[in-house]
Amino acid sequence: MKQHVISGIILLAYILFTGCGTTTQTSPQEVVVGTGLTDSYLPQLENKNVGLVVNQTSVIDSVHLIDYLFNKGVAIKGIYAPEHGYKGNVERGEHVDGTTDPETGIPVYSLYGKYRKPTPEMLEGIDVMIFDMQDVGVRFFTYINTMTRVMEASAENGIKVIVLDRPNPLGYYVDGPVLKPGFESGIGLYPIPVIHGMTVGEYAKMVNSEGWLKDGIQCDLEVVKMENYTHETKYQLPVLPSPNLADMKSVYLYPSICLFEGADVNEGRGTDTPFQVFGAPYYTPKDFSYIPKSIPVLALHPKFEGETCYGYDLSETPMAELQNIKQLEIKYLIDFYNKSDDKENFFTPFFDKLAGSDQLRKQIIAGLSEEEIRESWQADLDSFKEMRKKYLLY
C-alpha cells in the first residue's frame, strides 16, 4: 500500500530538520517513543474500532502510524486532524477540512475548523482513541489542546484514550506566566505556564487527575511511556512538528519569539528562518534587515509583507547556546515596545491570549524591568512545579 510520505516543502523541511543537530544532542534512535513500543498497545486494539489523532509526526521509523496499523489489520474508523492537518501541510491558524484519506479510505474529521472537540457523531462506534503527535512543550502550541478536548469527548462517550508518549524538546525547564482564569482560549485552556516542561503523556495525566476537563469528568487514560528518555535529554525532533518550525533552532526560540504574534512585530514568518529573525520597519538600529513575503503553506500575507523590517537575526546562534536557554526571553519584547512609534497599537488583543493574562502587557506598558516582571511570575511557577511533580514519568 502507498505510504503517507511527507512531500514537497514538508519533505525539504524534514531533511533540514534532521540535519540541524549537534553532537551534544541525543539521537532520536536512542529514545524509544511510545509509538515504537507496539507490544504495549497493539494487543489492546484487537477486535476494537480505533480512532487516531495523528499528524505528519506520527511515524514508526519511516512508516506512518496510519499505514502501520492499517497493514496490521487494525480497524481504523476515523482520523482526527489537528491544526496544520493530519499531513502537516495547512498554514497556521487556517481551518482544516474534513475529508477521506486517499490511501486507505478512512474518514478524516477536522478538529481545527467548525469543531475543536469531537462530536458524538464523529466518535460513533469508536472503542479506543490513540493520540500520537509530537508536541514542543509550549502552552500555545495547540496540539495539547486538541489532546485534552479528545480526552473530554472520549470520557463523555465512554471511550478509552491511549497516549503514545513522545519527548518534550523543551522538557528541561519551566518558565513564563501561568494562564489566569478568564483568559482561556484556543491557544490556552488550563492554568499552566508558557513553557510547562512536561511530555504530552505527563500533561494528559495532570489534566485528567486535576479535574480540569468539563465538570471534572475523567477519561479512561493510558500513557505508553518511552524508554531511555529523561527531562534532561536534548532530543532532536526527527520530523518537522509544524510548517514554521523549520529546524531545532526555531523550536528553541519559539516560546519567546512567538509572543510577537500578538504585537506590531514580524516574527520571521515570510522568511526562510521563522522565529529566528524578527523585526519591524520602525526598529533601530538598522544593522540587520529583511523583507517578509508570502510563502504558500508557511506564511500567506505575513505582517509587514513587502516592507523592509529591521531587528534581530538569531539564526547563526550556536546550537549549544540555544540549548542552554532556560527562561522565557522577554527582553526583545520590551526592546521593541520601547522603540515603537505607535505604542498605543503595539499590542493586539491576541497578545493577552499568548501571555495567558493581561498582566504582562500592562507591566511592559508601565515600564517594569525584566527582573521585576520575572519576579511576579515566581509564586505561580512554584505552585505549578509542585503540582507537576505528581505527574512526572521520567
For residue 312, the model assigns a pLDDT of 98
42 and 188 part of one domain:
yes
For residue 26, the model assigns a pLDDT of 43
172 and 253 part of one domain:
no
Torsion of CA 171, 175, 176, 182, to 10 degrees: 70
For residue 97, the model assigns a pLDDT of 54
- Name the domain boundary from 161, 189, 224: 224
Q: What is the mean pLDDT of residues 169-182?
A: 98
26 and 167 part of one domain:
yes
SS3 assignment, position 149? helix
Whether residue 208 is contained in a domain is answered as yes
Domain containing residue 368: CATH number: 3.90.1150
Whether residue 12 is contained in a domain is answered as yes
193 and 339 part of one domain:
no
- What pLDDT band is residue 218 in, cutting at 50, 70 and 90? very high
Q: Which domain holds residue 313?
A: 248-389
Q: What stretches of the chain show up as alpha helix (H) in DSSP? A: 8-18, 38-41, 65-71, 143-156, 200-209, 248-257, 319-323, 331-339, 349-355, 359-365, 370-389
Percentage of the chain exceeding pLDDT 70: 90
Whether residue 95 is contained in a domain is answered as yes
pLDDT score of 350 more than 60: yes
104 and 160 part of one domain:
yes
Over its C-alpha atoms, the chain yields an Rg (Å, rounded) of: 21
Q: What is the mean pLDDT of residues 194-218?
A: 98
Task: Kindly state the DSSP code that residue 54 receives in the 8-state scheme.
Answer: E
- Name the domain boundary from 224, 257, 283: 224
95 and 60 part of one domain:
yes
State the cell numbers at 199. 511530555
Q: What is the mean pLDDT of residues 182-206?
A: 98
115 and 212 part of one domain:
yes
Contacts by 378-381 with C-beta closer than 8 Å and gap 24+? 380/177, 380/178, 380/193, 381/174, 381/175, 381/178, 381/193
pLDDT score of 9 more than 80: no
Q: What is the mean pLDDT of residues 270-280?
A: 97
pLDDT score of 78 more than 50: yes
pLDDT score of 353 more than 90: yes
- What pLDDT band is residue 29 in, cutting at 50, 70 and 90? low
Distances 68 to 4, 42, 47, 50 between C-alpha atoms, Å:
10, 11, 16, 13
Please report where in the chains the cell 506566566 appears, as a residue: 177
pLDDT score of 61 more than 60: yes
Domain containing residue 45: CATH number: 3.40.50.12170
21 and 144 part of one domain:
yes
Least confident range of 37-51, 88-102, 380-394: 88-102
SS3 assignment, position 292? coil
State the cell numbers at 249. 533552532
Domain count, the chain: 2
pLDDT score of 289 more than 90: yes
Q: What is the mean pLDDT of residues 289-293?
A: 98
For residue 95, the model assigns a pLDDT of 47
pTM for this prediction: 0.90
Whether residue 241 is contained in a domain is answered as no
Percentage of the chain exceeding pLDDT 90: 82
Whether residue 59 is contained in a domain is answered as yes
317 and 366 part of one domain:
yes
Whether residue 235 is contained in a domain is answered as no
Whether residue 82 is contained in a domain is answered as yes
Q: What is the mean pLDDT of residues 145-154?
A: 98
Q: What is the mean pLDDT of residues 105-122?
A: 93
Compute how many other C-beta atoms are within 10 angstroms of the C-beta atom of residue 14.
18
- Name the domain boundary from 224, 239, 265: 224
Q: What is the mean pLDDT of residues 293-302?
A: 88
- Summarize pLDDT for 228-255 with one digit per residue, the tens: 999 999 999 999 898 899 899 999 999 9
194 and 295 part of one domain:
no
Q: What are phi and psi for residue 78, nearest 5 degrees?
A: -170, 145
For residue 299, the model assigns a pLDDT of 82
Computed from CA positions of residues 305, 249, 81, 262, in that sequence, does the dihedral angle turn out positive or negative? Answer: negative
92 and 145 part of one domain:
yes
Contact 82, 53 (CB under 8 A): yes
Cis, bond preceding 285 (omega within 30 deg of 0): yes
For residue 172, the model assigns a pLDDT of 98
218 and 255 part of one domain:
no
User: Any bridge partners for residue 289, and if so which?
Assistant: 310
Whether residue 367 is contained in a domain is answered as yes
Mean residue pLDDT across the chain:
90
